[in-house]
Chain A
């Protein structure tokens, strides 16, 4: 299966293990991910504070590039990219005259967005297009010993109307379904759809770190061995700032934070090196041992 691929800024910056683990898992799945060369940052919701139209134009430019490549499903591996693109596409397709106005700007680059793009996170592609029945035979190391807490965060679920949750209510449970397909036990905990704190990390670090502490401790209290997230920004905060959260809470947390493709890759028998586990701040050694993945 061939898809247009939007890796986003963070998988090529602060979380390179997301990129490499995605590629390793894609190869096993037979997914051909063709990257959109020259696509801009989605704006991540921050640029949209400066002006919604600016963000929408940059995203429409990316959509037009995808259309030109011929395969109109864009695969995201970052929830924030997924959410921001979906919101932009929703406005472009549902605001009378807006698409024409944006296309006027894109014309200068010889681009035109025709409104045919579908934006899907890798989690959605796994469940809706590849199918969990096709994934199961690839699981050579079922994660039977592992209790995994799914951390959805915000952008892959809200706003629900832009993300098609009403039409596909299962999207609120895909992480649990994937964990189960990998042989693991999903852990339900109160923070699963809340904010990780990353968007205010630089503005109000105390609050941001408090969110990290609350979610990781809550997952731990509910029996999780690790958390899994579809968003690299959630990973950066929950993993990178966990030492600070530990200090703030006055207790050792030690909760490994896996990227979604790392979880799937573990179950597929990929090595910790291939999955970039050595790049985590919170050690994944215990999780790897439980999953019996060779070091």
Chain B
């Protein structure tokens, strides 16, 4: 079959640093992956095309690129699965990381974030005479998250990182989860404290992009949500994030549905006068257009709200 790839080319150090799209058409067997086709292009058509790859078997994590706008491992993406009706497969470098050349990005952004969460065991207490023992049960929870191959696909497509490069991002936070949950690690309190701060767990948008693009089922966002639970359970309550969850739950438990106006006020803090004043223009615009719902005590309860409250009581403390 004929494969047509439209590849984003870029050489930031050249005379023409901005990127452009270059189309290549090669004859390939049907079983070819995007990586197979890219290698064929490099070997037979254009030796100047820069790509990074190693194992070609979805183990090393070297060949993540964006295919038709979505981060994937080029080596386990079959061409036939991603060729649209018009026949052109668009291949671009990963996002949120600077391009070195063509499809190769500078992974230092990725690694610096991983380093920032101290990705190693920090046991406490005296060293055991033999090895540290962790039960099978305790490690089962970690099998998926330990499957991370550090390809950077989640970082590439993270929508929060796109607007804030300080955000720790999905890969590093999933790695942090891996250590907070390890029974041999003794640094949970310090870890959670630092993850509770700006650029940590509360800056995730819950967009699920990382869950969708991860080629190994690590589900980074689910780990971030679990970390939010951990910081809340650890009593770290002085954040907007915590107050937002608490106010949301309180509203649904009380009335069966959401009191949007009180949710905002309680999340910012009832006595956070500067913030409340800053929010006034938005509130007034909404009020003028009949879009500011009446807050408690005027917020009407849903019929059967007492059953909702009962479910809350019954499940209190259960995950």
Q: Does the CB pair B244–A202 fall under 8 Å?
A: yes
Q: Does the CB pair A279–B315 fall under 8 Å?
A: no
- A15, A37, A190, A280: which contacts B303 (Cβ < 8 A)? A37
Q: Which residues of B contact A85 (CB under 8 A)?
A: none
Q: Which residues of B contact A182 (CB under 8 A)?
A: none
Pick out which of these stretches binds chain A: B43-51, B101-109, B147-155, B290-298: B290-298
Q: Does the CB pair B163–A158 fall under 8 Å?
A: no
Q: Which residue of A lies closest to B210 (CB)?
A: A158
Q: Roughly how many angstroms separate A245 CA and B311 CA in the complex, as a whole number?
A: 40
Q: Which residue of A lies closest to B264 (CB)?
A: A202
For the complex, count residues of A whose C-beta is within 8 A of B: 57
Q: Which residue of B lies closest to A87 (CB)?
A: B208
Q: Which residues of A contact B314 (CB under 8 A)?
A: 105, 108
Q: Roughly how many angstroms separate A105 CA and B256 CA in the complex, as a whole number?
A: 17
Q: Does the CB pair B318–A49 fall under 8 Å?
A: no
Q: Say yes or no: is A96 at the interface (Cβ < 8 Å to chain B).
A: no
Against B, the Cβ 8 Å flags (1 = close, 0 = not) of A109-135 are 100000000000000000000000000
- B203, B225, B248: which contacts A203 (Cβ < 8 A)? B203
A53 with B315, Cβ < 8 A, contacts A16-B291, A190-B69, A194-B159 known: yes
Q: Does the CB pair A207–B248 fall under 8 Å?
A: no
B-side interface mostly: helix
Q: Does the CB pair B315–A54 fall under 8 Å?
A: yes
Q: Say yes or no: is B42 at the interface (Cβ < 8 Å to chain A).
A: no
Min Cβ gap A99→B in Å is 16
A197 with B302, Cβ < 8 A, contacts A53-B318, A53-B319 known: no
- A39, A47, A51, A279: which contacts B318 (Cβ < 8 A)? A51
Against A, the Cβ 8 Å flags (1 = close, 0 = not) of B222-262 are 00010011001000000111001100110110001110100
CB contact list, A187-206 vs B, under 8 A: 190, 194-195, 197, 199-200, 202-204, 206
Q: Does the CB pair A197–B260 fall under 8 Å?
A: no
Q: Does the CB pair A54–B312 fall under 8 Å?
A: yes
Q: Does the CB pair B315–A204 fall under 8 Å?
A: no
Q: Which residues of A contact B198 (CB under 8 A)?
A: 204
Min Cβ gap A210→B in Å is 4
Q: Say yes or no: is A240 at the interface (Cβ < 8 Å to chain B).
A: yes
Against A, the Cβ 8 Å flags (1 = close, 0 = not) of B145-174 are 000000000000001101110010000000
Q: Does the CB pair B307–A109 fall under 8 Å?
A: yes
Q: Say yes or no: is B128 at the interface (Cβ < 8 Å to chain A).
A: no
Q: Which residue of B lies closest to A194 (CB)?
A: B159
Against A, the Cβ 8 Å flags (1 = close, 0 = not) of B194-233 are 0000100011111111011000000000000100110010
Q: Roughly how many angstroms separate A202 CA and B243 CA in the complex, as a whole number?
A: 10
Q: Which residues of B contact A244 (CB under 8 A)?
A: 282
Q: Does the CB pair B310–A14 fall under 8 Å?
A: no
CB contact list, A4-57 vs B, under 8 A: 9-10, 12-16, 37-41, 43-54, 57
Q: Does the CB pair A278–B289 fall under 8 Å?
A: yes
- B162, B228, B245, B302: which contacts A39 (Cβ < 8 A)? B302
Beyond A200-B203, A211-B162, 14 additional contacts (C-beta under 8 Å) are: A9-B257, A16-B290, A40-B256, A41-B251, A47-B252, A54-B312, A57-B311, A109-B307, A200-B160, A200-B204, A200-B205, A210-B163, A210-B164, A214-B163
